Amino acid sequence: MVSRVIPVDSFDLVIFGGTGDLARRKILPGLFRRFCAGQMPPEAQIVGAARTEMDDAGFRDMVRAAIDEFGGGAEDPGQLDSFLERVGYVAVDAKGDGGWKALKDRLRDDCVRAFYFSVGPALFGDLAERLRAFGLATETSRIVVEKPFGHDLESARALNRELAQYFDETQIYRIDHYLGKETVQNLMAVRFGNVLFEPLWNAQFVDHIQITVAETVGVGGRGGYYDDSGAMRDMVQNHLMQLLCLIAMEPPAQFEPDSVRDEKLKVIRALDPVEPHHIVRGQYGADEKQPGYRAHVENERSRTESFVALKAHVSNWRWAGTPFYLRTGKMLRARTSEIAVVFKDAPHSIFGAEAGRHNNVLAIRLQPNEGMTLDVTIKEPGPGGMRLVDVPLDMTFADALGPDGANVPDAYERLVMDVIRGNQTLFMRGDEVEAAWAWTDPMIDGWEARGDVPKPYDPGSSGPEDALMLLHRDGRRWRDIKA
Ligand code: NAD
């Protein structure tokens, strides 16, 4: 199956923080892959903008090195040279006046204009203000804002208010790169493009839902930032929340930005407050290879969680009584992200007790090997009577779609192209972000007020024992964390 590439309109894209880690690892290599795929018009222009003094040639060398390291390189070396001709650089100070006039002079009037804020959140307001003050922002310009979007409800509201002084909501693209993943969009296609699932997608037929985002790495070089936020702020408030919304939302009337985002918002607003005994926080300890979390963040008294598991309820007609179990953590057994919809047992087994209990599970894998499996109960082959086994119907995209499907675009590639197209469906709206904070803030305030200390867990494990108990108490078990 060959995927169709529809070229976007001509654009000027300015990447503030163009010399930073995110730009080098994701944004620039992603743009290069879109260029190779023929999606970028030849006259499109990418301008790196950051504090470092550098000329176009210096930036192009940096971009070439980034693409070699993170972009898989070019099949045809000429392609990289042609791409680099589209790339330039202007030194700009987000907090000062330097460079803004030169940047303005670089931009064209007759094309889409987008500004990617790939800088720390403290600079978002400064950039927005200066884009207006120096006349770079036009009525159709877009800004792309990276995470974290606020630290709590109050700071997110303040940031929304600040950006709203300079840009209309239709011009603001708040990135959650989970929404750019192929499988996440496929989740909507599976739900709303087939008649098979939607009739069963409710409390009557679904026993519970599990959402797991597990990492094998620790906090790495982000210790200071991470210790200030923790797993709830860094992962649950945004990524896991977005996945929960797409699983739980009602069918939107159209696949259009506000239709989809209205439905997601309703889910967040229908979430019950989470009881403290339905939350488990963990912090990884040391092993023979490396020190533990507290040493990584250089804070021997840290009470920040590197793992969190919780049981949530969406109180609406569709989901009343169906638990949503969420967990995410660092230094776990395997790197995997998965949503599992666990259906109820058949109401009556005609095969007798020895056939065992069986239920269908639809597992949606975000990584590794993006794809889906549906566990179906069949007869165990052979002459041994009617014994039942669960067998996965496997739809790994790389297998199902052939060599082209294996080349699934990275989330950032797709999202940047959506910005140019002016499609906000896969971006978070301001009220959505605020509603998500309004749900997570009381949990965080609660454990801070109680002085809760996260439970220790071993690196390479599935998290603290208490997280296993969270499901065990309900007569359920987590799916294995495996690659
Ligand atoms: P970084 O520290 O590597 O880069 C920051 C960039 O901002 C640099 O290019 C620097 O020159 C520029 N900058 C700093 N101060 C400036 C100023 N006053 N004026 C102009 N430019 C200035 O950071 P990063 O890891 O690339 O992250 C950028 C943003 O993306 C952050 O908001 C981060 O939270 C978010 N993010 C990063 C990742 C990642 O994988 N790195 C993932 C998700 C979100």
Residue 170 lies in a domain: no
Residues having CB within 6 Å of any atom of ligand 1? 16-23, 50-52, 92-95, 118-121, 123, 146-148
Q: Which domain holds residue 131?
A: 11-146
Residue range 89-102, pLDDT digits in tens: 999 999 999 999 99
CA distance from start to end of the chain: 26
Question: What average pLDDT does this structure show over 200-223?
Answer: 95
372 touches 338 (CB < 8 A): no
If asked whether residues 279 and 366 sit together in one domain, one would say yes
Residue nearest to atom 39 of ligand 1 (CA): 22
If asked whether residues 232 and 317 sit together in one domain, one would say yes
If asked whether residues 461 and 318 sit together in one domain, one would say yes
d(CA 155, CA 147) in angstroms, rounded, equals 13
The CATH number that applies at residue 206 is: 3.30.360.10
Residue nearest to atom 7 of ligand 1 (CA): 17
Q: Using the mean position of ligand 1's atoms as its centre, give its distance from the Cα of residue 452 in Å.
A: 32
b/e per residue, 207-228, with b = 16+ CB within 10 A? Answer: bbbbbbbbbeebbeeebeebbe
- Given a cut of 60, whether residue 2 has pLDDT beyond it is no
* Mutation to probe ligand 1, out of 22, 175, 176 (largest number of atoms < 8 A from CB): 22
Q: Which atom of ligand 1 lies nearest, measured to the CA of 121?
A: 32
Residue range 157-186, pLDDT digits in tens: 999 999 999 999 999 999 999 999 888 888
Looking at the chain, the whole-number percentage of residues with pLDDT higher than 90 is: 81
460 touches 332 (CB < 8 A): yes
* Strand ordering across the sheet containing 455-457: 388-396, 371-379, 361-367, 336-343, 206-214, 323-329, 307-313, 279-284, 455-457
d(CA 481, CA 332) in angstroms, rounded, equals 8
Q: Which atom of ligand 1 lies nearest, measured to the CA of 50?
A: 21
If asked whether residues 366 and 440 sit together in one domain, one would say yes
Residue nearest to atom 21 of ligand 1 (CA): 50
Catalytic (active-site) positions: 239
Q: Using the mean position of ligand 1's atoms as its centre, give its distance from the Cα of residue 258 in Å.
A: 29
Domain closes at, from 122, 146, 170 = 146
If asked whether residues 131 and 202 sit together in one domain, one would say no
Question: What average pLDDT does this structure show over 374-400?
Answer: 83
Residue 60 lies in a domain: yes
If asked whether residues 353 and 463 sit together in one domain, one would say yes
Q: Which atom of ligand 1 lies nearest, measured to the CA of 24?
A: 26
Residue 297 lies in a domain: yes
If asked whether residues 48 and 189 sit together in one domain, one would say no
If asked whether residues 141 and 265 sit together in one domain, one would say no
Residue range 315-360, pLDDT digits in tens: 999 999 999 999 999 999 999 999 999 999 988 888 887 777 788 9
Question: What average pLDDT does this structure show over 206-211?
Answer: 98
Q: Using the mean position of ligand 1's atoms as its centre, give its distance from the Cα of residue 118 in Å.
A: 5
If asked whether residues 297 and 435 sit together in one domain, one would say yes
Residue nearest to atom 2 of ligand 1 (CA): 20
If asked whether residues 19 and 130 sit together in one domain, one would say yes
Residue range 260-309, pLDDT digits in tens: 999 999 999 999 999 999 999 999 999 998 899 999 999 999 999 999 99
Q: Tell me the binding residues for NADP(+).
A: 17-24, 51, 147
If asked whether residues 116 and 188 sit together in one domain, one would say no
Residue 70 tokens read as 């993170």
In the structure, what pLDDT confidence band is assigned to residue 34 with cuts at 50, 70 and 90?
very high
- Given a cut of 70, whether residue 61 has pLDDT beyond it is yes
Residue nearest to atom 43 of ligand 1 (CA): 147
Domain closes at, from 127, 146, 165 = 146
Residue 477 lies in a domain: no
Residue nearest to atom 31 of ligand 1 (CA): 120
Residue 70 lies in a domain: yes
* Mutation to probe ligand 1, out of 53, 90, 95, 118 (largest number of atoms < 8 A from CB): 118
* Mutation to probe ligand 1, out of 21, 116, 155 (largest number of atoms < 8 A from CB): 21
If asked whether residues 347 and 405 sit together in one domain, one would say yes
Number of domains in the chain: 2
Q: Tell me the binding residues for substrate.
A: 177, 181, 215, 234, 330
Residue 162 lies in a domain: no
Residue 269 lies in a domain: yes
Residue 168 lies in a domain: no
Q: Using the mean position of ligand 1's atoms as its centre, give its distance from the Cα of residue 133 in Å.
A: 22
The CATH number that applies at residue 101 is: 3.40.50.720
Question: What average pLDDT does this structure show over 253-266?
Answer: 96
Q: Using the mean position of ligand 1's atoms as its centre, give its distance from the Cα of residue 19 in Å.
A: 8
Q: Using the mean position of ligand 1's atoms as its centre, give its distance from the Cα of residue 340 in Å.
A: 34
